[in-house]
Amino acid sequence: MNDRIRRHWRDLVQSDLTWVPQADSERPVRGVTRGVWVKANEDETQGFLKPTVPATAYCAAYEKIAADLACEIGVNVPPVVLYERPDARTGADRFVAISMAPDGPCWGFREPPDPIPAPVRASLQAALRSGCGGIALDAWLGNRNRSNPDNMLFALQEEEPVFYLDFSNSMDAAGTWSRGDFGHFEPLRLPFLLFDALCRNEVEFVTTRIQSLKEGVVTGIVERIPDNFMPASARRRTSEWLVWRKERVCTNIENWYPARRG
């Protein structure tokens, strides 16, 4: 994925392009938010738009916050922009997130795995081992949905081929942080392919990058979310929770580091 475009989307909050849903049989749509593949009329950039059905509160905002934080700590999450849909159907959320589509063919992590060509599968384990540190981001954000094998992609590209997807169930999506559980670090559950490739040193390296991230960077990413996507009161609480957890993700690693498959 082009680093210049990735950084541009990190700096951009809301897209003013016109995004049109695409029929793409080679990239099946899964997930409770019923996301759809879209393309920008102006420059034909491709992305994945969600949600198209009623979802958890601030779903789109959580996707944007997670992607921007991932960019700062070097975790491979597709960049995200926010978008207000002019074509949203009655009952659907107009305020959505669009994740940039990886270049070229990509495969999911279904168990048993989707049919991946043998030459591609041979390089998958090495790619997973070098990219497994991304689970530290899940621990920081309280992401409870990494065990879903649809939430990772392996793209046929030379650099950073493993992508972490779907942060709509992270942070306070289930209301647990609001109920005082923001300090709890629970054991992560992972797809088997990722669990089998775990490298503790890679994971610890990312935890140190999280802890060294400046507080102002974290709060700046959250506070610039527009009110239509997340009100000021929710942004303030989210910033406080993320800063609190940032300082403790390293010391709590024994609580959240995966101990078993599945």
Give the pLDDT of residue 85.
92
- Rounded to two decimals, the pTM is 0.91
Give the pLDDT of residue 143.
94
- What spatial distance separates the first Cα and last Cα of the chain, rounded to whole Å? 29
pLDDT by residue for the chain (262 residues), tens digit each? 667 888 899 999 999 999 998 875 445 455 666 788 899 998 888 899 998 877 778 999 999 999 999 999 999 999 999 999 988 877 778 899 999 988 777 777 665 455 666 666 667 778 888 899 999 999 999 998 888 877 888 776 667 778 899 998 899 998 999 999 999 999 999 988 889 889 999 999 999 999 999 999 999 999 999 999 999 999 999 999 999 999 999 999 999 999 876 5
